Amino acid sequence: MMSEYSHQNLAGRHILLGVSGGIAAYKAAELVRGLKKGGAEVRVVMTRAASEFVTPMTLQALSGNPVRQALFDPAHEAAMGHIELARWAELVLVAPASAGFMARLAAGMADDLLATLCLATEAPIMLAPAMNRQMWQAQATQENAATLRRREVQLVGPAEGEQACGESGPGRMLEPLQLLDVCNTHFAAGPLAGVRLTVTAGPTREALDPVRYISNHSSGRMGFAIAAAAAAMGARVRLVVGPVSLPTPAGVERIDVESAEQMLKAVLADPGQIFIACAAVADYRPREVAEEKIKKQAPQLSVALQRTPDILATVAALENRPFTVGFAAETEQLERHARAKLEAKGLDMIAANWVGERAGDGGFNSENNALELYWPGGGESLPSGDKMTLARTLMRRVVERYKKTNGADKSHAED
The H or E element containing residue 122 is none
Contacts of 77 (CB under 8 A, 6+ apart): 71
Q: In Å, what is the CA distance from 36 to each residue of 31, 33, 180, 388? A: 9, 5, 10, 29
From the list 118, 165, 183, 278, the catalytic residue is 165
Long-range CB pairs of 401-406, under 8 A, 24+ apart, other chains included: 401/323, 401/348, 401/349, 401/375, 402/274, 402/323, 402/348, 405/323, 405/348, 406/323
What's the CA gap between 76 and 86, in Å, rounded?
Answer: 13
CB atoms closer than 10 angstroms to residue 125: 23
CB 187 within 8 A of CB 234: yes
Q: How far apart are CA 312 and CA 200, in angstroms?
A: 10
CA-to-CA distance for 53 and 21, rounded, in angstroms?
7
The answer to whether 165 is a known catalytic residue is yes
Count of positions (residues) in the chain: 415
The Cα 222–Cα 359 span in angstroms is: 14
The alpha carbon torsion through 361, 362, 364, 365 (nearest 10 deg) reads 50
Q: How many helices (H) and strands (E) does the chain have?
A: 14, 19
For residue 207, list its beta bridge partners. 213
Residue 96, CA distances (Å) to 43, 163, 288, 332, 405 in order:
15, 14, 63, 55, 44
Catalytic residues: 165
